[in-house]
Structure 1
Amino acid sequence: MKEFSIHQELSAIDNQKRVVKFFGMQESPIAITMVLELVPGSLHSILKNVTAVQVQKIFRQLVDGVEFLHSNLVAHCDLSLKNLLISNGDVKIADFGRAKKLAEENQEFLSTECRGTPKFCAPEICGRDPVSVKPFPLDVWSCGVVLMQLIQNSEDSWRKAKIQVQEYDKWIAKKKATGSDFWFNIPTTIMNLLRKILEADVSKRATIAEIKNSPYFKKDEREPIKRSGAATRSSGKRARY
């Protein structure tokens, strides 16, 4: 019932339409069913076809949506490509099954209560033993993984944010990227932001306000100039930049 009440509460006050609309629920002896807005697809379904301009628009909307949740003391705790739906180019946050309603901004929960999709989980909740964590920075981290995957048109990322995972260990150590690293050709402006979002030290991790004040968030992206007789996109992951 917690998921229903959180979703219903947010939907009722969501003027930006960043949350999938909640119309009600139906209860039977064997199940409770939510009646929700029909949204045709997810970010996962469009991942391989989004352009630079579209990625920036999606990311801005995602951050605005997370800001809305946090301003109402709700942490989602499971933001991922499949839980972020898209309708006519607009992002809508779905699936509040792991969401937490906070009594105050710095309230802590056990890490085991906040684990969502492994690839999108922050390092502080990837350990085996339960520890106390603040949920809002978890959502920020997940936004960073979403952005990293969108700009690559690929689900490439570390399978879990643990130092035992080679790609993650190299990222956290800030070692020089090589051609085999999935973040090798990410544009500098975006990389600078990702370094602040995907920061293992929670006290240094970017906040939503800091993300919104970043050059990438504030300056509009532009698509490449089309040239006659030449392909506008190649098979390379970041040809659009």
Structure 2
Amino acid sequence: MLFQKKFLPREINIVKTLRHPNIVQYFQCIETNRRFIIAMEYAQTGSLLDLMAMKHVLSETEARVFFRQLIGALQFCHSKFIAHRDLKLENLLLFWENCLKIGDFGFARHFDVDDGSTTFSSTFCGSNAYISPEILHQRSYNPLSADIWACGVILFAMVFGKLPFDDSGSIQHLTQNYFLQLVDKGLVFPIDKKISVECKNLITNVMTPESMRPKIRSILNDPWISSNLEK
């Protein structure tokens, strides 16, 4: 009932307002006596998670193309005062010619800006492996900054073929406390996969404490992401 009364109407109101080449397009919502049917753009190539399952790891060239699209779409959302709050590989859908689009705005919300400061969120939402330390610590958090942390997790997963804070495939590890312990230990780069210093620096800069996390504009100007996409 909470989903139908709160989250679903919010999601529909949000996706109606978003028109961007890297955001899945909403068409209409049909309500019946028993269910809501939302018609949206069809991702014929699946999700980024599907691609990772097939390729295991992406080259920096491939990852750069997808990451730039992700950050560009997220910048658009934030400019419309919308935070996604559930960015992960499953929610990044793939279309023709390496086109990535953000989908699933079920946890998205509008945020207010008061005196230049973003209103903080208190709702615990998202997937454990992608959520930021401040959420794991159950503190009020800046939803824009939390989105940026999730982008760092996604970039790490693309270039290393694994999540930075992995559940190791064991169901008993799928707990908030388990991920909290991993995140508090800090980011560790795998030694069996070499990536450029520039890419590693970007991941490190993004996956920092909330007070130090960069803004989207700074990320777009980062040497790795702003370099020639054909390199």
* Alignment TM class, shorter chain as reference: 0.7 to 0.9
Q: Which has the larger radius of gyration?
A: 1
1:24 maps to amino acid: Q
Aligned counterpart, 2:226: 218
User: 1:105-144 counterparts in 2 under 5 A?
Assistant: 106-112=118-124, 115-127=125-137, 130-144=138-152
Q: In 2, Cα distance between the equivalents of 1:132 and 1:171?
A: 21
Query: TM-score scaled by structure 1?
Result: 0.78
Higher RCO (C-alpha 8 Å, min separation 6): 2
Query: TM-score scaled by structure 2?
Result: 0.82
Instruction: Quote the offset at 1:108 in angstroms.
Output: 1.0
Q: In 2, Cα distance between the equivalents of 1:178 and 1:137?
A: 25
Aligned-residue CA RMSD in angstroms?
2.1
Aligned counterpart, 1:45: 50
Q: Does 1:86 align with 2:94?
A: yes
Out of 155, 158, 162, the position equivalent to 1:150 is 158
CA contact (8 A) 1:75 1:139 kept: yes
Aligned counterpart, 1:233: none
Q: Does 1:164 align with 2:172?
A: no
Q: In 2, Cα distance between the equivalents of 1:90 and 1:44?
A: 14
Instruction: Quote the offset at 1:53 in angstroms.
Output: 1.5
1:133 maps to amino acid: Y
Of residues 72-81 and 103-112 in structure 1, the stretch that sits farther from structure 2 once superposed is 103-112
Would you identify which runs of 4 or more consecutive aligned residues in structure 1 move more than 4 Å? 160-163
Q: Does 1:36 align with 2:40?
A: yes
Aligned counterpart, 2:169: none
Q: In 2, Cα distance between the equivalents of 1:7 and 1:197?
A: 26
CA deviations 1:63-110 (Å, max 9, x no partner) are: 000000000000000000000001011111100000011122601110
Partner secondary structure for residue 86 of structure 1: strand
CA contact (8 A) 1:75 1:135 kept: yes
Instruction: Quote the offset at 1:170 in angstroms.
Output: 4.3
Structure 1 gaps of 5+ residues are 224-241
Identity of aligned residues (%): 27
Pick closer, same or farther for the CA change 1:215–1:4 going to 2, 3 Å: same
